[in-house]
Amino acid sequence: MAIRRAFSGRIVDRTAVVGARYMSSWWRSVQPAPKDPILGVTEAFLADPNPDKVNVGVGAYRDDNGKPVVLECVREAERRIAGNLNMEYLPMGGSVNMVEETLKLAYGENSELIKDKRIAAVQALSGTGACRLLADFQKRFCPESQIYIPVPTWSNHHNIWRDAQVPQKTYHYYHPESKGLDFAAMIDDIKNAPNGSFFLLHACAHNPTGVDPTEEQWREISHHIKAKGHFAFFDMAYQGFASGDPERDAKSIRIFLEDGHHIGIAQSYAKNMGLYGQRVGCLSVLCEDEKQAVAVKSQLQQLARPMYSNPPVHGALIVSTILGDPDLKKLWLKEVKVMADRIIGMRTALRGNLEKLGSPLSWQHVTNQIGMFCYSGMTPEQVDRLTNEFHIYMTRNGRISMAGVTTGNVEYLANAIHQVTKSA
């Protein structure tokens, strides 16, 4: 009693309400949660006053001045949208226009599958939301199944399937010695998984390693996944961003489609349209026929309804405005290529600088890897040194967001990396 009174800090007025002031918090045993490993990096960066600080943590694109970019096609789309349209609820499945255009990007502009209406698709809250919907759907309709997740992967993948209560396993992916793909082990894992397992595949620009299978390797992966009757789920967060060409970046998906898989795809416009905070994405599931697609879509909506009812309209309008206008779409494709090219250029520059410094290590992987991230191979201890001694911020798995590298900081970054790795 005395403890509770002290806790509430004042003497209880017995003539007033009973109960409330006596109680200590219902939440007193709630533990402080650990910081998100990725988003926590930017928080730390922002708090650092050092003028030389570099943020190569979170995967958000920066221009060569280190500034965030709003694409011109996006600005134009927003000008057209503002003042013209109302803000009514979208259907539960989101913007039909946006979804249609989005499917074309993934499945092909003239895809028979789209024409045959075999794809169940709903607008989702960017890539995260799309993965979560699929995970919840998997739990509900394939409750005995498990999800195989590559090692390593985007850390939030584990959270998503955990919260959906789907058991997770891992499959070999990254080969630390070669800083490339552990292909043989990956194939073994596919073969050894129980038939009908779900496999999470990064369609292109693997996060965090930047290591992608070759086309031939994708064909073999497809073959083995098919032999085991596994479900292939593609997380495509970087279409266009990897090579600069969206068609090329969708190659893995097209291979699987040709092979007859009934795949699922999570698509995001966060990076390739720079719409990060708008939370625009799409979840699609390829079905046997139109009837099944209708059924699956209706069930996906049943999962969306008690989560957020219907998805946000603004970002979807931007996407459909851009993709629905040939000129704006052309502009977008140009701007995506500029972003991809700048990153490729920074890879070359970083590797070049390290080699010029006479690093004893091989930095080939910096240019072999693709997409926004470079898996440097640095240890958590080396990363900590980078942060503490050089004010360089990145995730402790050694992942460098190349988007944060500029002509202005690449030498500083290379030198710092050299300093912490030269005696490795």
Task: Report CA-CA distances (Å) from 150 to 215, 250, 349, 372.
Answer: 18, 19, 29, 18
Q: Which of residues 90-149 bind other proteins (CB under 8 A)?
A: 90-92, 108, 112-113, 125-126, 128-129, 132, 137, 141-142, 145
Does position 68 interact with other proteins (CB under 8 A)? The reply is: yes
Does position 11 interact with other proteins (CB under 8 A)? The reply is: no
Residue 405: name the closest of 15, 60, 51 by CA: 60
By beta-carbon proximity to other proteins, the closer residue of 28 and 388 is 28
* Structural tokens at position 234: 């593609």
* Structural tokens at position 362: 């091989």
Does position 17 interact with other proteins (CB under 8 A)? The reply is: yes
CB atoms within 10 A of CB 175: 16
Q: What whole-number distance in Å separates Cα of residue 107 and Cα of residue 96?
A: 16
By beta-carbon proximity to other proteins, the closer residue of 21 and 104 is 21
Coil, helix or strand at residue 54 = strand
Does position 15 interact with other proteins (CB under 8 A)? The reply is: no
Task: Report CA-CA distances (Å) from 185 to 90, 181, 217, 250, 258.
Answer: 45, 9, 13, 24, 25
Which are the contacts of 79, defined by CB distance < 8 A and separation ≥ 6? none
Does position 245 interact with other proteins (CB under 8 A)? The reply is: no
CB of 59 to other proteins, least distance (A): 10
Does position 214 interact with other proteins (CB under 8 A)? The reply is: no
What crossing angle do the helices spanning 290-308 and 126-141 adopt, rounded to 10°? 110
CB of 335 to other proteins, least distance (A): 14
Q: Which of residues 191-210 bind other proteins (CB under 8 A)?
A: 191, 196
Single out the residue of 299, 367, 379, 419 in contact with other proteins (rule: CB under 8 A). 299
By beta-carbon proximity to other proteins, the closer residue of 28 and 65 is 28
By beta-carbon proximity to other proteins, the closer residue of 169 and 314 is 314
Q: Which of residues 138-157 bind other proteins (CB under 8 A)?
A: 141-142, 145, 156
Q: Which of residues 310-369 bind other proteins (CB under 8 A)?
A: 310-315
Does position 37 interact with other proteins (CB under 8 A)? The reply is: no
Q: Applying CB under 8 A, which part among 237-245, 289-297, 330-338, 340-348 lies near other proteins?
A: 289-297
Does position 371 interact with other proteins (CB under 8 A)? The reply is: no
Does position 257 interact with other proteins (CB under 8 A)? The reply is: yes
Residue 258: burial class (beta carbons within 10 Å; 0-12, 13-18, 19+): exposed
Q: What whole-number distance in Å separates Cα of residue 361 and Cα of residue 212?
A: 22
Q: What whole-number distance in Å separates Cα of residue 206 and Cα of residue 263?
A: 18
First-to-last alpha carbon distance for the chain, in angstroms, is 60
Single out the residue of 54, 122, 242, 285 in contact with other proteins (rule: CB under 8 A). 285
Catalytically annotated residues: 154, 235, 271
* Structural tokens at position 83: 């003042």
Kindly report the backbone phi and psi dihedral angles of residue 203, in degrees, each rounded to the nearest multiple of 5, phi listed first: -60, -40
Q: Applying CB under 8 A, which part among 87-95, 376-384, 392-400, 415-423 lies near other proteins?
A: 87-95
Does position 88 interact with other proteins (CB under 8 A)? The reply is: yes
